[in-house]
Amino acid sequence: MIRTIIIALLSITTIGAGVWGYKENQDKNAVLIQAENSYQRAFHELTYNMELLHDKIGASLAMNSRQQLSPQLAEIWKVTSEANSDVGQLPLTLMPFNKTEEFLSQIGDFAYRTAVRDLEKKPLSEDEVKKLEELHEYSREIKNELRKVQNVVLKDNLRWMDVQLALATNDEVGDNTIVNGFKTVEKTVDGFETTELGTGTGSSGPDKQYKFITGNEISEKQAKKIASRWLEDVDQSKLTMTSSGKGADVPTITGSFQDGEKNGYIDLTKKGGHPLTVMISRPVKESKISLHEASNEAKKYVKQLDVESLELVESSQYEKIGIFRFVHTKDDIRYYPDAMVVKVALDNGEVLGLSAREYFNFHNKRAINPPTLSEEEARSRVNPQLEIQEHRLAVIENDIKEEVLCYEFLTTMEGTTYRIFINATNGNEEKVETMKKSETKFNEEV
Amino acid sequence: MIWKKTVIIVLGFSMMVMPLSEWTNVKPVHAFSNQVIQQGATGDDVIELQSRLQYLGFYNGEIDGVFGWGTYWAVRNFQSEFGLEIDGLVGQAVKDKLNKASNYDEGFVKEQIRQGNDFTYYGGVPKEQQSDQGQQGQQQGQQQENEVTEQPDEPTAVNVPSGYSQNDIQLMANAVYGEARGEPYVGQVAVAAVIINRVSSPSFPNSVSGVIFEPRAFTAVSDGQIWLTPNETAKEAVLDALNGWDPSGQAIYYFNPNTATSSWIWTRPQIKQIGKHVFCK
């Protein structure tokens, strides 16, 4: 009797487990297929877009009329950004694959810049046409490689999930057609990169960074002293100092300490011992002082820096902390690239941080030409529907990374504030920004 | 006899209660705290400032408790109209003038904020007309009724670093918490900074979400730890990074030398180590 019951029970549980396992397995497969499909989609779209890109570049080379060329270049720009987003969805980040993305964004930049230019007045130069031809050639190679991989993927039913697993579990991927195919693509792009696109894109490279820093090399002992001064005179024996590795844009010495609930961190440049990043972290209590008082603390703090005059341009309160942004001003001209930020705790006004990277990266003795446009002329270039509230001169970096002197106008229209920069030399509208800093809280349950 | 007594007692009681409640609701003279209010500030003082400016017709925006650009221009207009120094700062002189010229019904304003109503506070207009208790408002009001005790009348808006939304911050905080919750604070800021550096790098997607959800980019995303609830530290770290702090030294990669499986990552030029993470270019 008991035996039959046990047998019955056992068989029921075995069958139950089997059914459950089968269900579970099915669910897992469904999810895997879902993920696989989204990879497949990104991949096939990428090959399609590369093909399209190749065609479009070819067509733009064949084009004679300028009116047609601009829209064509704009089209190229659009396709590159789509291809770029496809690459971003493929599981390849940890492979050295990002060159392709870079390549795409460079074509995009090139196309954008030539598309927005008035090609009637300034047609494509010999060099640019040559560049376009090169681009055409490279896109052909990439496209062919991708088509080859695509063909194998379709013929052999290769799955991206396998690549994913191979990448996740071990480093040696071995004989994997997809990965090998992409490595070839990567090599092609690599060859292209050495020929230089020469559009002067945003990735300016490490040699151009922090080139204006002045001062002598500091020793570790000096660094300790400086670090302690910035970190509220902490005992020098408590500081741990390390030097940056060879990947750093600018050689730095880092000091840090841990003291109960408080810890501090500072990055000093080796050359000159300037503080790039200062951070002190501790629990901040209920805020007691106003943002205004805190701004005075911040002003006092930046005075300690051995730098030329700074002006507070922006302050904002984030519950218990105040963030203050300063820029360099000289002769009533604001230099927006030379910025630094100070963080102040609103419980007792203690300065909790300084970020001066931008300041030390950009600040230098510039030769800025006086404006050739009068303020009245600049004013007339502002959309007449805007009501101008404030104006001043300012130096900003425009979208092709040049520093330009501009008239800055703070204007309002229907309750919204806009900031307009009019180039003080040629009257171009360099930048228009919507000033929005706050956002309505969503229905949150805190 | 007993009926009469009860009626009298009830009447008396209600008379005692009614005027009292009226009286507590209307508190016309309410003073600012004695702090100078400036652009960027948030809190009660700003709510009062905005209400008073709106009462006088200088401010037409929402009364949300954040001293933004709209409030700034309103203050400046007020200062120029009343012959004060035009600096956009609300000091004692401005407050005195405001107190004299306007009424502030704190009870009404706070009540509206608490109920999440769409409302205005113009002087000379009956209050009933200024509060738009739409269906949504009422529902919200009822919903929030229970929360009133936990959530006092705070500003209804917050400052955000320009170009980012509260949800972006939340998403980044999730990623930072999932990736680096055991790390020192500086290490968490550095991880957040890497996300931002990737957004501006041409080799990576151009949005916060694109960078975070790029397949195989972050282990916390692959193994689902990103969906843990982040703590306040992670959020603060993200805010610091968005406001310009970058202790990583413009790194775009980082890895944990003890657990990294890819040999490729070791070929990247290293910048520094913070906590358990090595940051590299």
Chain A residues touching B206 at Cβ < 8 A: 84
* 8 Å CB contact of A170 and B261: yes
pLDDT at B100 (0 to 100): 82
CB pairs under 8 A between A and B: 209
pLDDT at B217 (0 to 100): 80
Closest residue in B to A287 (Cα) is: B43
- B80/B73 Cα distance (integer angstroms): 11
How close A164 gets to chain B, by Cα (Å)? 8
Residues A27 and A100 in one domain: yes
pLDDT above 80: residue B28 = no
Helix axes B106-115, B2-25, angle to 10 degrees: 90
Candidates A100, A318, A391: best to mutate against B (most CBs of B within 10 A) is: A318
Contact B258, B280 (CB under 8 A): no
User: 């109503």: which residue's tokens?
Assistant: B117
* 8 Å CB contact of B243 and A256: no
**Residue A5, in any domain of the structure:** no
pLDDT at A202 (0 to 100): 39
- B13/B174 Cα distance (integer angstroms): 55
| SS3 per-residue string spanning chain B | CHHHHHHHHHHHHHHHHHHHHHHHHCCCCCCCCCCCECCCCECHHHHHHHHHHHHCCCCCCCCCCECCHHHHHHHHHHHHHCCCCCCCCECHHHHHHHHHHCCCCHHHHHHHHHHCCEECCCCCCCHHHHEECCHHHHHHHHHHHCCCCCCCCCCCEEECCCCCCHHHHHHHHHHHHHHHCCCCHHHHHHHHHHHHHHHHCCCCCCCHHHHHCCCCCCHHHHCCHHHCCCCHHHHHHHHHHHCCCCCCCCCCEEECCCCCCCCHHHHCCEEEEECCEEEEC
Look at residues A215, A342, A328 and name the one whose alpha carbon lies nearest to residue A273.
A215
Q: What is the DSSP string of A40-53?
A: HHHHHHHHHHHHHH
Residues A400 and A311 in one domain: no
Chain B residues touching A246 at Cβ < 8 A: 269-270
Residues A111 and A254 in one domain: no
**What is the ipTM metric for this complex?**
0.79
Last residue of a domain, one of A362, A384, A405: A362
Domains of chain B in sequence order? 33-145 (1.10.101.10), 166-280 (1.10.10.2520)
**Amino acid (one-letter) located at B129:** Q
In the predicted model, residues of chain A with pLDDT beneath 70 are 64-67, 92-99, 164, 166-177, 190-208, 437, 442-446
How close A89 gets to chain B, by Cα (Å)? 6
Contact A283, B263 (CB under 8 A): no
Q: How many domains is chain A built from?
A: 3
* 8 Å CB contact of A315 and B40: yes
Cα first-last separation, chain B: 93
pLDDT above 70: residue B150 = no
**Residue A2, in any domain of the structure:** no
**Residue A138, in any domain of the structure:** yes
Chain A residues touching B169 at Cβ < 8 A: none
The arithmetic mean of pLDDT across residues B177-194, rounded, is 90
Pick from A99, A106, A291: CB nearest B38:
A291
- B126/A278 Cα distance (integer angstroms): 53
Q: Output the six-digit token pair for A327.
A: 């820029």
Last residue of a domain, one of A143, A171, A203: A203
**Residue A228, in any domain of the structure:** yes
> pLDDT, tens digit, for every residue of A200-228?
333 334 346 777 888 888 888 888 888 88
pLDDT at A11 (0 to 100): 93
Residues A195 and A244 in one domain: no
CB atoms inside a 10 Å sphere around CB A332: 9
pLDDT at B24 (0 to 100): 43
φ, ψ at A149 (rounded to 5°): -60, -45
Q: Output the six-digit token pair for B37.
A: 């209010």
Q: How is residue A96 annotated by DSSP?
A: S
**Residue A4, in any domain of the structure:** no
- B169/A275 Cα distance (integer angstroms): 27
- B218/B114 Cα distance (integer angstroms): 40
Residues A311 and A420 in one domain: no
Closest residue in B to A313 (Cα) is: B39
**Residue A20, in any domain of the structure:** yes
- B140/B145 Cα distance (integer angstroms): 8
Residues A311 and A384 in one domain: no
- Record the pTM: 0.79
Q: Cα B182 to the chain's mean position, in Å?
A: 27
SS3 A235: coil
> pLDDT, tens digit, for every residue of B244-271?
898 888 888 888 888 876 777 788 888 8
Residues A108 and A194 in one domain: yes
Residues A357 and A383 in one domain: no
Chain A residues touching B186 at Cβ < 8 A: 256, 263, 265, 279, 281
pLDDT above 60: residue B23 = no
**Amino acid (one-letter) located at A98:** N
**Amino acid (one-letter) located at B272:** K
Q: How is residue B265 annotated by DSSP?
A: G
**Residue A210, in any domain of the structure:** no
> pLDDT, tens digit, for every residue of A282-340?
888 888 888 888 888 888 888 888 777 888 888 888 888 899 999 988 888 898 888 89
Closest residue in A to B279 (Cα) is: A247
Q: Cα A186 to the chain's mean position, in Å?
A: 22
Sign of the torsion angle spanned by Cα atoms B121, B124, B128, B129: negative
Helix axes B44-55, B106-115, angle to 10 degrees: 110
Contact B228, B174 (CB under 8 A): yes
Chain B residues touching A289 at Cβ < 8 A: 35
Residues A335 and A379 in one domain: no
Residue A396 pairs in a beta bridge with: A404
Residues A225 and A294 in one domain: yes
A394: domain range? 375-435
Residues A227 and A190 in one domain: no
pLDDT at B145 (0 to 100): 41
Candidates A163, A190, A288, A317: best to mutate against B (most CBs of B within 10 A) is: A317
**Residue A258, in any domain of the structure:** yes
Chain A residues touching B40 at Cβ < 8 A: 291, 314-317, 322, 437
> pLDDT, tens digit, for every residue of B70-82?
888 888 888 888 8
Residue A324 pairs in a beta bridge with: A315, A342
SS3 A199: coil
* 8 Å CB contact of B243 and A323: yes
Closest residue in B to A416 (Cα) is: B70
C-alpha distances (whole Å) from B210 to each of B27, B89, B265 are: 51, 40, 21
Residues A389 and A349 in one domain: no
